[in-house]
Amino acid sequence: MSGTDKTTRHSGDGYNFAYLDEQTKRMVRRAILKAVAIPGYQVPFAGREMPMPFGWGTGGIQLTAALLGRDDVLKVIDQGADDTTNAVSIRKFFQRTAGVRTTERTAEATIIQTRHRIPETPLREDQILVYQVPLPEPLRWLEPRETESRKMHAQEEYGVMHVKLYEDIARHGRIVTSFDYPVRVAGRYVMSPSPIPKFDNPKMDDCPALQIFGAGRERRVYAIPPYTEVRSLDFEDHPFAIQRWVESCGLCGSRNSYLDEIILDDRGKRMFVCSDSDYCRSRRETEDSGPTAVVPENGRETREVKA
């Protein structure tokens, strides 16, 4: 048995640049090109098994692997932060298999792979945002069948998306979808923005950066080309609105960023901090905005602001 050969092939060095072989990368890039050409349309692609489990970012990883060049600077975030375990794991994977520079600073990155957030720092034309997507099909909640949901997309049968929003308003007086809030891209395809909070939805609209979405397990790629109109679905008399906090970030004082709630004790003592750790840090570095006091508060209210 030629076991020794195989052992060496298992060691990190034996793999191709950025893990995937060049043919596979080409296949993925073709799928990305098609996705860019048809904004919001889910392009099937022959997703590979990756050395991480499905559901842990394999779609995004394949897109990043296919796009990564030696000069790229990669940033990986999960929940907005660079130091969450899965972000660390994915960043390490590319450090090992591609040896590219990595960064935690949004402004320095050329490719940003993300799960569940869009960075607060506005993106630029020379950046690509790669989303990890668990369930790419926005119609799936209602139509479990791929054959049927594809027809609905083809024929723009999107009435059911509004049925869901209608139900929210009828039952709760407002739209209660708070993340993975469906959008319509370039006036055509209804698309899942992946489970980002709806707070981030407006950032997708007319964004200078290319945004691509990879669903590894479901084997789909879709994209929003730069400067494309992205509208969150809503009603004229119940317009889309994003979350806002009464509180500001306990570390940097930001009033405009998405905040994570931190439970400090078992008596309702909480504080709020930016979910985007890089944004928070740069604010603390540049502006001299010292941490605000922790305000324990019960029954806090948040207000909705029209986007």
Partner 1 sequence: MYVAVKGGEKAIENAHQLLDAARRGSPDIPEISVKQIREQLSLAVDRVTSEGSLYDPDLAALAVKQAQGDLVEAIFLVRAYRTTLPRFGVSTPVETGKMRVQRRISSCFKELPGGQLLGPTFDYTHRLLDFQLLDCPEQAPAQASKEPLGQAPGQEAEQAPDDNLDAEGSSPMVTGLAPQDSRTADTLPLGEPGSKEMPSIAELLRGEGLIEEQQGHDGAPKDITRDPLTFPATRDQRLQSLARADEGFVLALGYSTQRGYGSMHPFAGEIRVGRVEVEIVPEELGFAVCIGEILLTECQMLGKYSGDTHRPAHFSQGYGLAFGNCERKAMSMALVDRALRHDEFGEDVKGPAQDQEFVLSHGDNVEASGFVQHLKLPHYVDFQAELEIVRRLRAAHAAKGQDDGEEGSL
Partner 2 sequence: MSQLINKEAPYPVVPEQSDPDAETERKTASSKPCSPGVDDNPLLIVEDVGKSFNGTPACRDISFMLWPGEVLAIVGESGSGKTTLLRCLSAGIRADNGRTSYCSPTFGEMDVFTSPEHVLRQLHRTEWGLVHQNPRDGLRLGVSAGANIGERLMSLGQRNYGAIRDEALTWMRKVEINGDRIDDLPLHFSGGMQQRLQIARNLVTKPRLMFMDEPTGGLDVSVQARLLDLLRSLCSELHLAVILVTHDLGVARLLADRLLVMQCGRVVESGLTDQVLDDPHHPYTQLLVASILEA
Within 99-247, where are the H helices? 146-154, 159-172, 201-204
CB of 88 to partner 1, least distance (A): 4
Give the three-state DSSP class for 63.
Answer: helix
To partner 1, the closest distance from the beta carbon of 79 in angstroms equals 5
Distances (CA, A) of 259 to 18, 69, 70, 81, 186: 33, 33, 34, 12, 29
Q: What residues numbered 95-114 form the site for partner 1, per CB under 8 A? A: none
Interface residue with partner 1, options 98, 129, 183, 259 (CB under 8 A)? 259
Residue in 5, 21, 83, 167 binding partner 2, rule: CB under 8 A: 167
Q: State which of positions 31-60 bind partner 1 (CB under 8 A).
A: 44-56, 58
Q: Are strands 230-232 and 259-263 parallel, antiparallel or unpaired?
A: unpaired
142 sits near partner 1 (criterion: CB under 8 A): no
Site for partner 1 in 212-251 (CB under 8 A): 217, 219, 243, 250-251
Given the complex with partner 2, which of 94 and 189 has the nearer CB atom? 189
Q: Cα–Cα distances in Å, from 26 out to 63, 108, 131?
A: 11, 26, 19
Rounded CA-CA distance 160/174 in Å is 17
157 binds partner 2 (CB under 8 A): yes
Site for partner 1 in 158-187 (CB under 8 A): 171-174, 176, 178-180
Nearer to partner 1, 106 or 228 (CB): 106
What is the smallest separation between the CB atom of 110 and partner 1, expressed in angstroms? 22
Q: Taking phi first (over 0 means left), then psi (-120 to 50 degrees means alpha), and beta for anything else, what does residue 11 get? A: beta
Query: Of the two residues 50 and 233, which places its CB atom closer to partner 1 in the complex?
Result: 50
Binding part of the chain for partner 1, among 75-83, 123-131, 182-190, 206-214 by CB under 8 A, reads 75-83
Q: Is 118 a residue that touches partner 1 (CB under 8 A)? A: no
Q: Which of 4, 23, 85, 155 binds partner 2 (CB under 8 A)?
A: 155
Tell which positions 89-148 bind partner 2, by CB under 8 A.
none
* Eight-state DSSP code of residue 209: S
120-125 long-range contacts, CB within 8 A, separation 24+: 120/254, 120/256, 120/257, 120/258, 120/274, 120/276, 120/279, 121/276, 121/278, 121/279, 121/282, 122/203, 122/208, 123/203, 123/207, 123/208, 123/209, 124/208, 124/209, 125/208, 125/209, 125/226
CB of 261 to partner 1, least distance (A): 6
The reply to whether 207 belongs to the active site is: no
DSSP SS3 for 184:
strand
| 125 counts as binding partner 1 under rule CB under 8 A | no
Q: What's 255's DSSP letter?
A: S
The catalytically annotated residue of 14, 40, 69, 268 is 40
Chosen residue from 87, 161, 207, 212 binding partner 1 by CB under 8 A? 87
Question: Interface residues with partner 2 (CB under 8 A)?
Answer: 151, 154-155, 157-160, 162-164, 166-167, 169-171, 234-238
Q: Catalytic residues, which ones?
A: 40, 249, 252, 274, 280
